[in-house]
Amino acid sequence: MAHLRIGPARPVGTGGRPAAHLPAPVRDAAWSGRAPRPATGPRTVISESWTRAQQLGVDPDMGAAHRILSTDEVEQRRHATPLAEIMPSLRDGLVAVADATWHIMVVTDAEGRVLWRDGSHAIRRRADRVGFAEGASWAENAVGTNAIGTALVTRTPLQVHSAEHFVRTLHSWTCAAAPLHDPRDGRLLGVVDVSGPATSLNPATLALVSAVARVAEGELRARHWEAVGRLRSVAAPLLTRLSGQALVVDRNGWVAAVTGMACADRVALPARVRAGQVWLPTLGLCELDPLPGGWLVRVGERERPAAAHRVVLDLSGAQGAEVTVHGPAGPWSQRLSPRHAELLFVLALYPGGRSATQLAADLFGDPSRAVTVRAEMSRLRRTLAGVLAHRPYRFADGVGVEVLRPGRPADLLPHSLAPAVLAERG
């Protein structure tokens, strides 16, 4: 395979408009090592995705071989994801438009596996011929640059048109996709996509898909707060009978009711919650009792959260990053959002600490985004009280830090575009 050298890309952001007439010769010039002219070259998001696809060993003619999930496996994933709750909203917002314009609507999980597909029968038959079927993987490691897989990497809405696709058999397609997040914990649930013939490119499709995705996420958020309200009605009479400090939280740590203390809207719970005594970095030693839909948390007597003595940042797993804090009452583990995983990794690289400006450069390549960094660090420090210090931001004195990296440098936080992470991947 020839080495891909992409020339200067046009300064278009991740969500920018696709090149409606990006000709195949421009792509061929990039593959042959002849840098395309800046005015005609691929967008930055596309050139970066092409590079990732080549590094992953994706065949630009046929894509990579991958196993199609069985019907039973697809059904299991459908039942296990909150996306099933918002499918009516996605269908109402997109299927009629997709059908009328000879497109299909596709919904995948966070791995890029197609779970639902609806819309034009003719386009569905055409999609079958390129493997765009239920159970198929449309992650970048399977088919290279495409709206679904690349949106999973960038975590932003994206439209990919014709020769912008990495695999040549997809050049007759245009696709617009938007990621779907769980508003309860920010977890990436999957992607909603509208795809059709390349001749039907309409830049407004991306705006429509993005808007419908936000409406669907809003529905999940409303359902969540309804569940918190129901838990509050159960918790209120229970808390009136308790003395001391206590609170009731749902399974994601959102606070439904509290007594005897001030508390944030959410408490970070361990990745694997269990009844009995549990040490929480934000609250210290607590007693947890199960409730329908949540937990009763009784806070022990304390002046401040007990200090941690060791932190293990596990970046080695394919299912995401996790931090384990070893405190006086045993270990406590928590899944990390992609942004919080990046922050903790950078802080582990710099034991002496980093200012907000330095972290903004590390994460975004833009020192002016210090305000964004401060907001994220504030959230992270609420989760890891006693573990992180500030001025500068760093792990607290006396806390040992261990980072577990994946076997291959390329697998280190694979979805991250942070300059500090890219430098560590080599």
183-195 confidence digits (pLDDT tens): 888 889 999 999 9
The pLDDT of 270-277, averaged and rounded, is 82
- Reply yes or no on whether the pLDDT at 387 is more than 80: yes
Q: How far apart (Å, rounded) are the C-alpha atoms in residues 388 and 373?
A: 14
Question: What is the model's pLDDT at position 303?
Answer: 45
The pLDDT of 28-51, averaged and rounded, is 70
Q: What percent of the chain has pLDDT over 70?
A: 87
Question: Among the listed ranges 103-107, 114-118, 236-240, 261-265, which one has the minimum average pLDDT value?
Answer: 261-265
pLDDT band at 14 (very low <50, low <70, confident <90, very high): very low
Query: Would you say the C-alpha torsion 130, 149, 53, 22 has a positive or negative sign?
Result: positive
- Reply yes or no on whether the pLDDT at 181 is more than 70: yes
The pLDDT of 232-241, averaged and rounded, is 88
Q: Are strands 310-314 and 400-404 parallel, antiparallel or unpaired?
A: parallel
Predicted TM-score (pTM) of this structure: 0.73
Question: Among the listed ranges 31-35, 294-298, 392-396, which one has the minimum average pLDDT value?
Answer: 31-35
Torsions phi, psi of 308, nearest 5?
-85, 160
Average pLDDT, rounded, for the chain: 85
b/e burial code for range 334-352 (CB count within 10 A of at least 16 → b): bbbbbbbbbbbbbbbebee
Q: How far apart (Å, rounded) are the C-alpha atoms in residues 341 and 235?
A: 33
> In the β-sheet with 158-161, what is the strand arrangement from edge to edge?
114-119, 104-109, 188-197, 173-181, 158-161
Pick from 351, 342, 299, 307: nearest CA to 326? 307
- Reply yes or no on whether the pLDDT at 8 is more than 70: no
Q: Which position has the higher pLDDT, 207 or 200?
A: 207
Query: Would you say the C-alpha torsion 288, 292, 294, 299 has a positive or negative sign?
Result: negative
The pLDDT of 61-72, averaged and rounded, is 90
